[in-house]
Chains A and B, each alone.
Chain A
Amino acid sequence: MTIKNFAFEPAELTIARGDTVVWSNTDFVPHSATARDSAWDSKDIAANGTWRDVPGKAGRYEYYCVLHPTMKGTIVVR
């Protein structure tokens, strides 16, 4: 996952259970990837920083950036 120009790319990503997702922040400012249901929360991902997670349960996870709530994304775990 790339965080670029205040957007998550791709906006929706489908993975298999057990896959590792890495968010890579290419912006000048910190962002977060925070699940709406609080299943996971990266907290601040620094500028040029990364965060990885292995979503454990199948499902559709909508997430957003706490710092910039207009940024939204979805991870689908099969």
Chain B
Amino acid sequence: MSPTRLTDRRVRGALAAIATAVALAGCKKSENPPADTATPAVAPAPDTTKPAAAASPAINDAQIAHIVVTANSVDSAAGMLAEKKGASKAVKDFGKTMVTDHGGVNKQAVALVTKLNVTPEDNDTSKQLKSGGDANLAKLQGLSGKEFDKAYIDNEVAYHQAVLDAIDKTLIPNAQNAELKATLEKVRPAIAAHLDMAKKIQSSQTT
């Protein structure tokens, strides 16, 4: 059987939640309208945050691999910016850790797909993650000082929460290959730790 056709359609609905959450985080501060150049796929739709992702979607391993690599790269890119533009030491350090950690996870993911001879397959979720990440970067580029720190950390909290939910509800349950599943299970604590760290910084920021 050929799972690709079917899954490609389903993955969109199931994982759109990640991109939506990220886009929402990006749009949170409404006084700073996001760049108009952002792709229409992520900019609107503030009304579809219902956690529908639990409804057993089908998604193949090649797509999961692509989502993992994309999600890591998106957060690495934001981390690099925070390392450079962050105002507080906490934000700079956090950004640096994101670059290091997501780089480490991606190295592992690439090693695994190479070993399994899987070619990561682009899909709507990856595309949305990428365009959401680009919109976030564009927004952050225009900010500085405390505004930058707050916007960056707010997005990091929302992003890691969304990725954690996706790992638990979609990626791990659908991974077919045992090693891919094990890798996802090993990545999970990293995302959970990052979420805790980001929340801690966030709470120290909000007076």
Contacts and interface: CB of A to CB of B under 8 A. Distances in A.
Contacts of B32: none
A28 B197 CA distance: 18
Interface in A1-15: 5-7
A29 B104 contact: yes
A9 to B, nearest CB: 12
A68 B193 contact: yes
A28 B101 CA distance: 8
Contact of B107 (A6, A27, A28, A70): A28
Interface residues of B, number: 17
B192 to A, nearest CB: 7
B190 interface: yes
Contacts of B186: 5, 27-28
A29 B75 CA distance: 15
A67 B193 CA distance: 11
Interface residues of A, number: 13
A6 B104 contact: no
A42 B7 CA distance: 46
A8 to B, nearest CB: 12
A67 B97 CA distance: 6
A31 to B, nearest CB: 10
B97 A6 contact: no
- Among B108, B189, B193, the one with the most A-chain Cβ atoms within 10 Å of its Cβ is B193
A69 B96 CA distance: 13
Contacts, number: 41
Nearest to A66: B93
Contacts of B190: 6, 27-29
A29 B100 contact: yes
Nearest to A46: B104
A29 B105 contact: yes
A47 interface: yes
Contacts of B197: 68-70
Interface string A27-42: 1111000000000000
Interface of B: 97, 100-101, 104-105, 107-108, 186-190, 192-193, 196-197, 200
Shortest beta-carbon contacts, A-B, top 10? A5-B189, A29-B104, A6-B193, A6-B189, A29-B101, A28-B104, A28-B108, A70-B196, A67-B97, A68-B193
Given A6-B192, A47-B104, 8 more contacts: A27-B104, A28-B187, A29-B105, A68-B97, A68-B193, A68-B197, A70-B197, A71-B193
